[in-house]
Amino acid sequence: MTRTVGVEEELLLVDAETATPRAVAGAVLADAPADAVVSELQAQQLETNSNPCTTRDELLAEIRTWRRRAAELANAEGADVAALGTSPLPIAPEVMPKGRYQRMAEAFGLTAQEALTCGCHVHVAVESDDEGVAVLDRVRVWLAPLLALSVNSPVWQGQDSGYASYRYQVFGRWPCTGPQEVFGSADGYRGLVSSLLSSGTLLDQGMVYFDARLSAAHPTVEIRVCDVCPDARDTAVLALLVRGLVETAARAWRDGEPPPRASAPLLRLAAWRASRSGLEESLVHPDTLRQAAAREVVGALVEHVAPALAATGDLDTVREGAERLLSGGGGARWQRELFARKGPAAVIREAVARTRE
């Protein structure tokens, strides 16, 4: 049976005229459908949630539908939405006036108050926690290349950050983020999460911000490492790659193959490398754990999941999408080039256009 896949996208709310981020999420969401377009930590952003999908066409249609709906809701308040990982214009984020978000602001200070970042989370169905944790243990080495494919946040608060994904750096300020060691079993995963919660530092399980985790709300593995992508087609390609990774990992587990050996510090370094240079320079190769050209690493990722992609009819789509991203440099390249020529507002306006296609 083909696994379902779904996508959560965080989108920046911006003024339809000036392109400045606007804290209007509360007004925008007053008439929003439940569970499809929802609030996030900051009032200058929204989150869209696709339904679980089986085919690539269904998935792409869902992504486009909810981007369109988010834009329509924003337009009613004189705003629009932009799929950007960070705000290119300087902005003072405003935490949503909701109980949990206010508690986060009080507990984590500037980390929460400055955390206006937009990511893309991909959910893929698993049959059990045992299968899910086996998947987490086997996909961890491939998460940095996924980040490199999604990089879309080079400009932060009005300046070029020097990173292709500065969102990943900002998000890493939270106390429980990034790559993890091999969990070994569902009990091992649950034991670690229980220990983290028992420390009294995290407010709740929702703050277990691993790059990949078991969803607390759905029977899925949730891959959280990616920036939101400006082009809906690229979001779909990433989601299909993630589904291929999950299926490939589950097959390896069923066949008795052990997880790849790589320490969490080394995987953190690989993610930092992907965040720094995206597709423009070298990455850490998941097989050798040594430096390799980005094109070689992305090629290895696609070939690693090729049998799973072929089984769902997605191999050609993913190969074409990966080549498009490699050739274009992802969102980071065009943002950086446009920012240098025309400034941050032009970047936001272009992102709005790309978000709505």
Amino acid 6: pLDDT: 98
Q: How many CB atoms lie within 10 A of CB 260?
A: 17
Share of the chain above pLDDT 70, in %: 99
Task: Enter the tokens of residue 207.
Answer: 């703050």
pTM of structure:
0.97
Q: How far is CA 73 from the centre of its chain?
A: 23
Q: Domains in the chain, start-ordered, CATH in brackets?
A: 5-356 (3.30.590.20)
Residues 254, 10: Cα–Cα separation, whole Å: 34
The token pair that represents 30 in the structure block:
């007053």
The proportion of the chain whose per-residue pLDDT surpasses 90, expressed as a percent, equals 96
- The model's pLDDT over 216-254, given as tens digits with 9 standing for 90+, comes to 999 999 999 999 999 999 999 999 999 999 999 999 999
| Average pLDDT of the residues in 286-306 | 97
Average pLDDT, the chain: 96
Chain segment 62-96, per-residue pLDDT in tens: 999 999 999 999 999 999 999 999 999 999 999 99
Does position 109 have pLDDT exceeding 70, yes or no? yes
Give CA–CA dist 10/46, Å, rounded.
6
Report pLDDT for 1. 81
Nearest to 287 by CA among 263, 268, 306, 262: 262
Nearest in space to 94 (alpha carbons), one of 109, 107, 113: 113
Nearest of 229, 169, 328, 219 to residue 11 by alpha carbon: 229
pLDDT digits over 143-201, tens only? 999 999 999 999 999 999 999 999 999 999 999 999 999 999 999 999 999 999 999 99
Give residue 36's pLDDT band: very low, low, confident or very high (50, 70, 90): confident
Q: What is the mean pLDDT of residues 95-106?
A: 94
